[in-house]
Amino acid sequence: MSDRLTRRAAVMAKVEAVYGTAETTFAATRGDAIALSHDVLSRVQLAARVKSVQGAAVEIDDVFAMTAGETYACRFRVFETEEDTVGISVVRPVMTLPGETQILTLTGSGPMPVVGDLVHVGPARVESYAQIVTRIEATQDMCAIVRTVDAAPQIDTILAATPIPAWSSRVGAEIDDNLLQPSAPRFVALTSGLAATGLANRISYAVAPGTGSVPTIEIGLDHRISGAESWSSTTIPVANGGGTIDSYTPGQSVDLRARGIGATGVAGPWSATITIVVGSADAALPAALDAASISITTLLGGALIQFATGDDAATARVQIYRSITSLLDRETDAVGAPIAVEPGQSYATTLGDTTRTDLIVGGGLEAAGSWTLGTGWTISGGVAAHAAGAAGRISQAVALTGGKYYRIGYDVVSISGSTVQAGLIGATLRPGTSVATTGPKLDRIQAVSGGTGIAISAEAGAAATIDNVRAYLETDACLEQGAHHIWIEPQNAAGVPGPVAGPFTIIIT
């Protein structure tokens, strides 16, 4: 028989002994806690009736076996009045008398059972099982099936200790903490020892906050002896710019890391961990790259970056950053992995798609060449000019692919009276943006089938000169049209950054 069926049968068998027959009203209801003596589950438990009581001696109607060295207890119910049908469950210790007996000698002081009472006898603290009634089913024989589960008072304890969140009428989700994190700060100076700080055991540090869109209010600094499991922490206002640590001794290797904390209390990512030996020379932070050694060439759809390293042995790698805003965010603007470098070497890398070629022949407008000049247009002195009086366009034949985007750029040197605009010509005219101001102009136009060329059109009233016409087929790898800002940052072998160079601004056609 399974444990569940065994338990159910035993409970059914004892229900009359515990609760009485049909003449007795059941005291327990669903959800009540009861004490259950179950000799099928535990052979050391016994449920019996009281036959007689004399002083502290209680005679029961069944034989109970005791073992030397064990402590025993007896549980029974005490009723205050005749109308009381629930009573109070009382547990009294029983004197251990090894062997089988029907006489229980209760020790200590307290209530005594009376003749006819049901008693549970067994080892102390396990003379009964604590149960919760889940259901009582009436049977055809005027008895009842009592279904129970184990009582779990620890659940009540946990629930009582669990705080209930305050109700709020707010709707919607809270802002993701990632959107409130300030950028990681960086160490800009780190010194130690008597010569650098004036105290042999002092570490002096300077920290600059990250430059992301979330402002840093405080700097959280962690430090520990290298290899230790736990960190010591301190927090300083960002306005302090740094501080000192005096808790280490000369010769100890110390790890430091920092992170920014925003106005909402949300902390950002940790900076790279930097290690310093107290009392040794200053930590080797990379020196700034020479701005004169950095060259950035704007290409169609991308850029070529060239730079040279100096003789700084601490510069082990260089990180490139790019953003369409002039505010650097190191966590989001990094371009690929850092470039490993050595002192005194030159390096080159690219951004975007640098394979694009100019579809315009003679875009510098030095001569008419491949250009078709419409009404009012002339080419002279390195510019194309349109005279007011009649609308016209200057165009060049280019095989266009339907569905593809073409980028067009040109400079408006002078303009008055009306507007000019770039466009794709052919079976269907695909106009760009009309402009009436001077300066560089950019267009991005999708071609349709039947496209045969690229043109700059002028309205009849426009007196305008243009220069530097260029166009190319856009690919997914091309940088976005418009301004891009580039930074170049030296780092040491641990990834700790030095002074960043930039921003260098380029305009992508």
Give me the half-sphere count of Cα atoms (radius 13 Å) on the Cβ side of residue 242: 15
Q: Six-digit token pair at 496?
A: 């700790």
Q: Which candidate, 300, 458, 474, places its Cα nearest to that of 401?
A: 474
Q: Is the pLDDT of residue 144 over 80?
A: yes
Count of C-beta atoms within a 10 Å radius of residue 261: 20
Q: Is the pLDDT of residue 320 over 60?
A: yes
Number of structural domains found in the chain: 4
53 pLDDT tier (thresholds 50, 70, 90): very high
Count of C-beta atoms within a 10 Å radius of residue 434: 14
Residues 269 and 147 in one domain: no
The mean pLDDT value of the chain amounts to: 87
In a domain, 25, yes or no: yes
Residues 49 and 74 in one domain: yes
Residues 142 and 9 in one domain: yes
Q: Six-digit token pair at 152?
A: 């779990």
Residues 7 and 153 in one domain: yes
CA pair distance 310, 303, nearest whole angstrom: 23
pLDDT digits (tens, 9 = 90+) for 468-502: 999 999 999 999 999 999 999 999 887 878 889 99
Residues 468 and 488 in one domain: no
Q: What pLDDT is stored for residue 39 in this prediction?
A: 78
Which of 230, 251, 277 finishes a domain? 277
pLDDT digits (tens, 9 = 90+) for 153-203: 888 889 889 998 888 777 766 666 566 788 899 999 988 887 778 787 899
Q: What pLDDT is stored for residue 20 in this prediction?
A: 36
In a domain, 361, yes or no: no
Residues 33 and 134 in one domain: yes
pLDDT digits (tens, 9 = 90+) for 337-378: 999 999 999 999 999 999 999 999 999 999 988 899 999 999
The 3-state DSSP class for residue 430 equals strand
**Contact present, 219 and 187 (Cβ < 8 Å):** no
Q: How far is CA 317 from CA 258, 344, 488, 503, in A?
A: 21, 13, 11, 19
User: Domain residues for 437?
Assistant: 372-473
Q: Which residues, including other chains, have CB under 8 Å from residue 123's CB and lie 6 or more apart? A: 44, 70, 71, 72, 73
Q: Is the pLDDT of residue 389 over 50?
A: yes
In a domain, 170, yes or no: no
Residues 64 and 210 in one domain: no
Residues 233 and 338 in one domain: no
CATH at 491: 2.60.40.10
Q: What pLDDT is stored for residue 286 in this prediction?
A: 85
Q: Is the pLDDT of residue 336 over 50?
A: yes
pLDDT digits (tens, 9 = 90+) for 226-277: 989 999 999 999 999 999 999 998 889 999 999 999 988 889 999 999 999 9
Which of 94, 126, 158 finishes a domain? 158
Residues 445 and 299 in one domain: no
**Contact present, 203 and 190 (Cβ < 8 Å):** yes
Q: What pLDDT is stored for residue 34 in this prediction?
A: 85
Which of 247, 277, 307 finishes a domain? 277
CA dihedral over 439, 440, 446, 452, signed as positive or negative: positive
Q: What pLDDT is stored for residue 11 in this prediction?
A: 39
In a domain, 35, yes or no: yes
Residues 443 and 309 in one domain: no
pLDDT digits (tens, 9 = 90+) for 395-448: 999 999 999 999 999 999 999 999 999 999 999 999 999 999 999 999 999 999
pLDDT digits (tens, 9 = 90+) for 62-109: 999 999 999 999 999 998 888 888 888 999 999 999 999 999 999 999
Residues 208 and 243 in one domain: yes
Among 11-25, 90-104, 288-302, the minimum mean pLDDT is found in 11-25
Residues 48 and 150 in one domain: yes
CATH at 395: 2.60.120.260
Point out which residues pair with 36 in neighbouring strands. Answer: 129
In a domain, 489, yes or no: yes
In a domain, 137, yes or no: yes
Q: Is 178 left (phi over 0), alpha (psi -120 to 50) or beta?
A: alpha
The Cα angle at residue 201 between residues 195 and 205, in degrees rounded to 5: 75
